[in-house]
Structure 1
Amino acid sequence: MTDPSPSDVALELERLRATVETGFAKVDGSLALLVQRSDQTDARLADHEQRLDALEHARWPLQNVLALVAVAGLALPLWQLAHA
């Protein structure tokens, strides 16, 4: 078995370095994509929270109105019975 020459070792190290750099570039790209998707998901979640809060806020007056109508619906027959 012969010892590899320094130029062969340097060539293999350069190939290995290029392979590692390519791998890191792919990983960096994938991580950047994941961060972008995470940011988009956070933005959509915040939008949904705002819309849900708006719906919940709009719902409360409706319940109050329905309660007043129910009370008026009960009070009207009682008033009619009292004055009949």
Structure 2
Amino acid sequence: MTQPEGIAVELERLRGITEAGFARLDGRLEVVLQRTNRTEEDVRRLREEHDQDLAVLRAEVEALKRGRWPLPALGALTGLGGLVAAVLALFLN
């Protein structure tokens, strides 16, 4: 084998190794791309679920706010009732 033929054979061997490496890299990149797409879809779905849950919680909090007792008004009425009872007790005795 002459020197140029040896170089050609070695270059062909390197070309095969390079092609095999690129094929392996391409396969790995496809896997990464699939995982990335799946992750993006999962994140999008989780955001939608989160937004829905948040909307439900906000609606529940608003319903609780509307349904709560007017505690300051009840406190004022109770105090007024106590004052009236004390004044009546003072004058009736």
TM range (shorter): 0.7 to 0.9
Give the TM-score, by structure 1 length: 0.77
Q: Which runs of 5+ in 2 are unaligned?
A: 81-93
Q: For 2:40 and 2:59, locate their aligned partners in 1 and report how far apart those are by CA, in whole Å.
A: 30
d(CA) in 1 for partners of 2:21, 2:9: 18
Q: How many residues in Structure 1 have an aligned counterpart in Structure 2? A: 80
Structure 1 residue 74 corresponds to structure 2 residue 71: yes
Any idea what the Cα deviations from partners look like across 1:1-39, whole Å, max 9, x if unmatched? xxx522211111110100000011111111111111110
C-alpha root-mean-square deviation of aligned residues, in Å?
2.5
Structure 1 gaps, min length 5: none
TM-score by length of 2: 0.71
* Residue 74 of structure 1: how far off its partner (Å): 3.0
Bigger radius of gyration, 1 or 2? 2
Alignment of 1:1-84 (within 5 A): 4-70=2-68, 72=69, 74=71, 77=74
Indicate the percent of aligned positions where both proteins have the same amino acid.
27
